[in-house]
Amino acid sequence: MNRFIAPILLALMLPACGLQPLYSGGSKGAVATTLGSVSIAPIEGKNGWLMRNALTDRLSAQDSNAAQFRLVVTLDDRIEGFGVRADDTVTRERRTLRARYQLISVATGETVLDATAGSDAGIDVAGSEYATIAGENSALENLTQKVADQIVTRLSIYARGE
């Protein structure tokens, strides 16, 4: 008898956990509508160009004339050497990309969300300068994607009202 009651009790308790789909309502839901109404301000530099493109792809950003929100992103991109040999040559680098982003209401000019996101990656320093530069560029592209995902996730949570 207990083996029949336990699954029924679990099924009744499941809705009480409070979990809800973030993107409920599909393209007409609150999150999709809010994300689609964000324009992205230009971001300086190569890393800014990569970040703006990654965010535009994820947000389906509209023309800035129709936007309800403006996203302003400031990037801090650093490469630090570590893993030093006896002859003081660097064998490993760490590339760190941090973003401070602000979601600003176009109607009021009020900052409704001010947060940061970031990630880092290790890079092997090869004997070839070309290979090292290629590794640094690949790391920047990957970090840009990760940080853009973090930003969009946080914007989605804000749009959901949590």
Which residues does 51 contact at the CB level (< 8 Å), separation at least 6? 43, 73, 75, 99, 144, 147, 148
Residues 25/32, Cβ–Cβ less than 8 Å:
yes
What architecture (CATH level 2) is domain 19-160? 2-Layer Sandwich (3.30)
Q: Give the tens place of pLDDT for each residue, 61-76.
A: 555 567 889 999 999 9
Task: Provide the residue ranges of all domains of the chain, joining segments of one domain with +.
Answer: 19-160
> Tens digits of per-residue pLDDT, 109-124?
999 999 999 999 998 8
| Whether this model's pTM surpasses 0.85 | no
The predicted-structure confidence for 136-156, as pLDDT tens digits, reads as follows: 999 999 999 999 999 999 999
* Strand 111-124 to 90-105 pairing: antiparallel
